Structure 1
Amino acid sequence: MFHREGIKTILFGSIFTTAVLLLSDKFITLIWLQKTVQIAAFIILVIILQFFRNPKRTAILSETEILAPVDGKVVVIEEVFEAEYFKDKRIQISIFMSPINVHVTRYALSGLVKFSKYHPGKFLVAWHPKASEENERTTVVIENPNFGQVLYRQIAGALARRIVNYAQEGMQVVQGTDAGFIKFGSRVDIFLPLGTPVNVVLNQKAIGGKTIIATKA
């Protein structure tokens, strides 16, 4: 199963690979060169397909748990000052996605979208300390009866050149469902109220829509 954001890219990749196979058979006489070109084209298509994969996951809905919004590695767990929306201290959990991770963003909790904003910006490497404030990004705030307001931020990385965000202000969203997509390596930050028990540790691998990252105090 592939994500809808990859349909055009997958179609282009398939056409490109088919063309390379046909043309190399016709115009390249050296067998070793012909096979090298064909294998390279096939590998490119495989990379495209794996990048846009969208494994079906059914989240077990919970009003007392916050789920990982993306697949990746937990790289930050710390108390920070969130300057854009809350303008106070929050617990930040950051998950870094490499190009081989599933890049679907899922809602970490159910609730009402109170804020959704896109910010153009730089393309620093996703783990850079300033990436959360200076890179291209989206900021979304969801209000939940048990956790209050929780903010998550999709952040572009050095390779990412497009962030897709489906959250719109006023929407009621469901935990674990599709919230967007980030193309080619990136990071998602989530900001929780102080005192929220955190269930993950640094360098832990998280699975979007499955791994419990925090629970109700």
Structure 2
Amino acid sequence: MLLSINGLGKGYDSGGARVEVLRGVDLALEPGETVALTGESGSGKSTLLHLCAGLDRADTGRIEVAGRDLAGADDATLAALRRQAVGLVFQQFNLIPSLNVGANLAFHARLSGRDDPAAVAALADRLGLGGLMARYPEQLSGGQQQRVAIGRTLAARPALILADEPTGNLDEATGDAVLELMLELVAEAGAGLLMVTHSPRLAARLSRRVHLSGGRLA
């Protein structure tokens, strides 16, 4: 199992009261599977993604990523897990403005020790970025920036990709094209994808959908 979540609970203190965001969440995701995570705003979708990435810690329950238990792992171990096994794609592109497209694409691959210039060049061509490698993020459209963000994640060949509204800043046509390409590349890599989306239409493009409501998945 690529991602295994059992009995996951997470809460926050707000205005002197305890707010339980996740209540006993269970979820399993296998290699090659794509899962859409839907739910109302504030339902805890991003919180769940952050917990899976080791960016936050659960109050209760267990998360295993590629057979590794996140409970009790120190920050250095979690950072190494993100470099080696987990890829993140967010609504905000989070590109490094001082690096050109080529360097941004190769950034995570270099951190993970999987830098392969030929593979990055081939990926850039697939993403429609082959002629833009010397440009900087500010010189790109929103759709082009998101393609770079997706390519940067995939270039490191992660086993699990966590995507939080990856097309949320794009118009519908551009978002559809970017999602289609991302799904193709994820399938070719045999990776697993857990993607947060508010759109039932986009969720239907993935192999399975789970809905978060009242802190629980259905």
TM-score relative to the length of structure 1? 0.25
TM-score relative to the length of structure 2? 0.25
Which structure: greater helix fraction? 2
Q: Whose RCO is larger (CA < 8 A, sep 6+)?
A: 2
Which structure: greater strand fraction? 1
